[in-house]
Amino acid sequence: MRKTLKLSILVATIIFTGCGGKYSNVSSQGESNSFPASVVYQDSSPIPAPMAVKRIITKSADINVDVETIENAEKALVLLVKKHGGYIINSNSYEDRYSASVKVPSAKLEETLNDIAKLGDKTSQSISQSDVTNQFVDNEARIKNLTLFRDKMQKLLSRTSNIEEIVKIEREIRRVQIEIDSLKGRQKYLTDAVALSPISVDFKEKTVYGPIGYVANGLWWVTKKLFIIK
């Protein structure tokens, strides 16, 4: 009885000192609610980012360019992407088309797009941005809270000699550690997404008309203008 009372006091201390999250007692049928391992961390609601925090932005872009030859444009793309500190993730080459997924440092995004546009005649370009500040700050807060909770459970484990309670505490520690690792994985993904911007590149080889082709194209232009002014 004294041992159970002592453990209950330790659990109460964890609950009231807290580490930013919420706790509740959860027990299965026939188990006492005083077991320390039954103290389960419940994730707190999302924490809004402070107004003063620097905004964390991810960027991506698409660009389409008409080029003289696919072969030369492809070689030039490889060189200029490398020059800007980026790399090509994957690419597909066809008879008169070429597409590639590229990643470059975010600070070099616009400069890289300008260089790609110089490889031919740019037909379209777009840049998208996404603010992930709140998500990043919220993940950091959750990692901190869960780490504090895990550390307190580990201290409680070192003071416990009951085998059944040791098993329960270790199971809870493992559960919390898995959540911490998952959140750290998300933070790494966001960090990489902020540092490197993806670019979707599409090259199309310019059409070169022969003598008859020029005539046919001219006749089509005249015919179209007879029906459509703009």
What is the 3-class SS of the chain, one letter each residue?
CHHHHHHHHHHHHHHHHCCCCEEEECCCCCCCCCCHHHEEEECCCCCCCCCCCCCCEEEEEEEEEEECCHHHHHHHHHHHHHHCCCEEEEEEECCCEEEEEEEEEHHHHHHHHHHHHCCCEEEEEEEEEEECHHHHHHHHHHHHHHHHHHHHHHHHHHCCCCHHHHHHHHHHHHHHHHHHHHHHHHHHHHHHHHHEEEEEEEEEECCCCCHHHHHHHHHHHHHHHHHCCC
Would 89 be classed as within a structural domain?
yes
Would 183 be classed as within a structural domain?
yes
pLDDT at 219: 54
State mean pLDDT over 69-87: 95
Would 230 be classed as within a structural domain?
yes
Tens-digit pLDDT profile for residues 165-201: 999 999 999 999 999 999 999 999 999 999 999 999 9
Would 2 be classed as within a structural domain?
no
Query: Is 158 a residue whose pLDDT tops 50?
Result: yes
pLDDT band at residue 51 using 50, 70 and 90 as cut-offs: low
pLDDT band at residue 54 using 50, 70 and 90 as cut-offs: confident
Would 60 be classed as within a structural domain?
yes
How many independent structural domains does the chain possess? 1
* Vertex 176 angle, CA 171 and 177, to 5°: 95
Share of the chain above pLDDT 90, in %: 62
**Structural domain containing residue 60:** 54-230
Would 69 be classed as within a structural domain?
yes
Share of the chain above pLDDT 70, in %: 67
Is beta strand 196-205 parallel, antiparallel or unpaired with respect to 57-67? parallel
pLDDT at 135: 94
Would 3 be classed as within a structural domain?
no
Mean pLDDT rounded to a whole number for the chain: 79
